[in-house]
Amino acid sequence: MKMKKDKLIELKRAVDSVEIVDAHSHNIVALDSNYPFLKCFSDATGDALYNAPYTLNFKRGLRELTELYGPSLSLSLGLHTVLETRRSLGLEQSAITCFRAARVSTILIDDGIELDKMVDIEWHKKVVPMVGRILRVEHLAETILQKAADGTTWTLDSFMEIFTKELKSVADNVVAFKSMVACCSGLAINTEVTQKEAEEGLSGVLCAGNPIRISNKSFIDYIFMHALEVAQSYDLPMQIHMGFGDKDFDMMLANPLYLHNLLEDKRFTNSRLVLLHASYPFSKEASHLASAYPQVYLDFGFAIPKLSFHGMISSVNELLKLAPMNKVMFSTDAIAFAEAFYLGAKRAREVVFSVLHDAMVEGDLSITKAVAAVKDIFAENAKKFYKLHKLDVSSKDSDIEPHIPSPFIKEELHGSLKDSSTDSDVEPCISSYFQNEELYGSSKDVTLVRIIWIDASGQHRCRGVPRQRFYSFVKKHGIGLPRACMGISSISDYPVEDTTLTCSGLFTIVPDLSTKCRIPWAKQQEMVLANMCTKSGEPWEYCPREALRRISKILKDEFGLVMTAGFEVEFYLLESVIKNDKEEFESSDQCRKCHTAAFDAASPMLEEMLGYLQSLNITVDYLHKEAGKGQFEIGLPYTDCFRAADTLIYTREVIRKVGRKYGFHPTFLPKYSLDEWGCGSNVHISLSKNGINVFKASEGSSQYGISKIGQAFMSGVLDHLPAILAFTAPHPTSYERLYSKDWNGRVVSWQKENNYAKISTCRLPGADVVGHFVCPAFDACANPYLGLASILTAGIDGLRKDLSLAAPVDRESRVNQEDYRRLPDCLTDSLSALEEDTLFKDMMGENLMACIKAIRKAEINHYSEDEEPYKDLIYKF
């Protein structure tokens, strides 16, 4: 099977430009370190290292480094010219050069190898945006024993007490533990090793003298098992070094199939193990384990670039034969030199391109799936596996680009090295979680940038700016808009009088460059979400994004928590027909919920939606046909609430565009027809601390399966629910959805796992604990930032007051409704509740609240007079 040239180019562009999360590496050393630079090209030691210049790997690597540092360098001068260039640039600038060229956005460092004049982990943050630490378990144990090698008498208990304390003290500050068990004593780990056996093993280690080196199998197995228990309790993964390259060890004992007993041990079913180095030469066996055991993941670092090119391809092919692609990660395993990171990343791209190209030629992968695999293997799998959202990348002291969005161009690199102060209209490389230049290249061919904001009535608005104007001025200083833009309702584009926001005076919309991305359907345009600022650059009090950001900070500062959210995006695909010279809309199909016929008919369109979302780095949990005729739903995954709102906006933009392309009119309106089911943006809410779900209860600690923190937070939401509806169900038509025949719930209460209750909890699969709660009373007329801010505000109040959670009800029809507060029947009642509830004015701002109330009152008055205006809403939401 031949592959079309455009598909080949698209795959090559994706591979060459994707960011890399280097999931396992080591410290860099100073320029004057005695660690030999030849180690960039060979893992040989001693005299054998001096044969490295005669290897193909050296010759190829030298050529690539010469090209990296400048076309003017002479390859004939050999390694000397590269070393001189490194010295002239200095350690920091040469490292920046390598990491930028390699498009490495994250490095995870195992600092358990002592190198001459190695720099600490903090230094690496100067040259790469995100840095995480990996703790080597055996190195920690040896360090503890070595510190007390002055005659201290050890017992197993005294050692384990200190060892455990040290493990737990660093658990919150590392991304993983790592064990050398495979190359120390083999993977046939004795899961039933006794304390006596371990005690004897410790005695043998101590008797061997200094320097301390742990080599006794029973003692190694014992501390490995214990470290794995600690890792599991802190939700940390365990890396296992698979022994490739260690000449002093019987490699046959590193066969991962020896892990069978450990993987079958029920104590460790929730652990996460990653087998490093492609498990070479046991790649096939490792692939089998990853396919058979949910806790096993793979990393093909170190096999690249140490093997021959065909050997690397063979190794990666073996891994992907059985292993799911969402369980395979990449690392350079680079050590000492930034150039090693560069060479490893470069070679990995070539190998992955070759492997995926062959898979496409064979018909195993489409271009969409191949591009998704590229992003998963090089970045997304590691981000999820190591929970990298816990790392702080917002350092104000760093001027290093966290992401290289365009293919590496030598002229750009050398220009920045020669004169970093030169004015340019090329955008700074700011990390964007919607970044998709790996598909479309750099921004140089962009003609227009759409700056998007969501007004107080929940409508998506934008202003287009030509590229030159955007990159020369607007990206930094923003663009002015009349203050009236935030006083507009869904009625017209005139400001509501009582908002006091008139056409006199300006505010500034300033692009949030972390959201900038290429528009998949308009490939010479970009879009970016905007913050609202005063003319002096301060956050504007009417800015919805600022409201959510400020209140999220309160939750973090006071309680150390982050609210996570995931939206269900319901929408109708309607067909426009002309009846009696008027445009009307009809359902596009007659199928009901989850019907396969509807899915088959819409598959090309749904696949295009998925493709566009993938290109924006938006993950989709599921999609299905909904209950309404012509209605579908896309489920978005959990993330921090701010990103969840951003993602929701871009998802709606994709749905609108693709639906129109296929001749449909997409609408998210809460109730476009009284005869049809409503449309919502049901939001799932949870709480996390250091990346761990803390909404769920510890086992057996709650009768509801909810933690005390979770109960207090949810109780606050229930307490303020009548007022919250003014934000989350903010339009008169919202209540036609909330109280139609398919809904129940007119009192303030909560239920267990009832999709139609106003607040409902959801258990984690296979567990008796609750992972999150759902607020279905959230629709597309809501500004998502303000809706989430209102829920967050109420939850914080519950935490501050340590509120107790009332008992759930089974069905409201079975309870005496007079015992409960009644929920608002309409928007008027919700506004009355908001007037009485001063919490939101205090937390979200008095002027913002006055603006929202004025807009809602104007809409109530307008839509209560005549039903005809409702027909216009289908064009707005």
- pLDDT of 525-555, one tens digit each? 888 998 888 877 788 888 899 999 999 999 9
Q: 119 or 253, which is more confident? A: 119
Torsion angle (degrees, nearest 10) of CA 835, 641, 647, 542: 40
Q: What is the pLDDT of residue 136?
A: 94
Task: Assign 3-state DSSP to the chain and report helix, strand, coil percentages, each to 5.
Answer: 50, 15, 35
Choice among 210-214, 365-369, 425-429, 507-511 with the minimum mean pLDDT: 425-429
- Per-residue pLDDT at 183 exceeds 50: yes
Contact 385, 107 (CB under 8 A): no
pLDDT of residue 792: 93
The residue-averaged pLDDT of 63-85 equals 71
Entry pTM: 0.54
Percentage of the chain surpassing pLDDT 90?
Answer: 24
Report pLDDT for 223. 93
Per-residue pLDDT reduced to its tens digit, 451-476: 998 888 888 888 888 888 888 888 88
Residues 6 or more apart whose CB falls under 8 angstroms from that of 158 comprise none
- The pLDDT score that the predictor gives to residue 598 is 67
The answer on pLDDT for 168 being more than 80 is yes
- For 658-686, letters b (16+ CB in 10 Å) and e give bbeeeebbbbbbbbbbeebbbbbbbbbbb
Instruction: Kindly report which listed range (195-209, 392-406, 424-438, 573-587) carries the lowest average pLDDT score.
Output: 392-406
pLDDT over 50 at 259, yes or no: yes
Per-residue confidence (pLDDT) for residue 729, from 0 to 100: 85
- Confidence grade of residue 405 (pLDDT, cut at 50, 70, 90): very low
Instruction: List pLDDT tens digits, range 604-628.
Output: 888 888 888 888 888 888 887 777 7
Per-residue pLDDT at 222 exceeds 80: yes
How many Cβ atoms are within 10 Å of 853's Cβ, its own excluded? 18
The band of 413, judged by pLDDT with boundaries at 50, 70 and 90, is very low
What pLDDT, on the 0 to 100 scale, is given for residue 865?
65
What pLDDT score does 435 carry? 55
pLDDT at 209: 72
* Average pLDDT of span 317-342: 90
pLDDT per position as a tens digit, 473-506:
888 888 887 877 777 777 776 677 776 776 667 8
Q: What value does the mean pLDDT take over residues 569-578?
A: 80
Instruction: Report the first-to-last Cα separation within the chain, whole angstroms.
Output: 45
Highest mean pLDDT: which range of 35-49, 335-349, 489-503, 668-682? 335-349
Sign of CA dihedral 12, 13, 19, 25: positive
DSSP E strands in 455-550: the ranges are 460-466, 479-482, 506-511, 517-518, 525-533
Confidence of residue 403 (pLDDT cuts 50, 70, 90): very low
Q: How far apart are CA 186 and CA 202, in angstroms?
A: 18
Q: Which residues pair with 298 in a beta bridge?
A: 275, 328
Which pLDDT value is given to residue 440?
42
Q: Over 60: is that where the pLDDT of 639 sits? A: yes
Q: pLDDT tens across 725-748, in order?
A: 988 888 888 777 777 654 556 777
Q: What are the angstrom distances between the C-alpha of 120 and each of 12, 26, 29?
A: 36, 10, 9
Chain segment 818-873, per-residue pLDDT in tens: 667 777 888 888 888 888 888 988 888 888 888 888 888 888 887 776 555 556 77
Residue type, 757: A
**How does residue 396 score in pLDDT terms, banded at 50, 70 and 90?**
very low
Q: pLDDT averaged over the chain?
A: 80
pLDDT digits (tens, 9 = 90+) for 23-57: 999 999 998 888 888 888 887 777 777 777 878 78
pLDDT, residue 427, reads: 35
The pLDDT of residue 82 is 83
Identify whether the C-beta of residue 341 lies closer than 8 Å to the C-beta of residue 104. Answer: yes
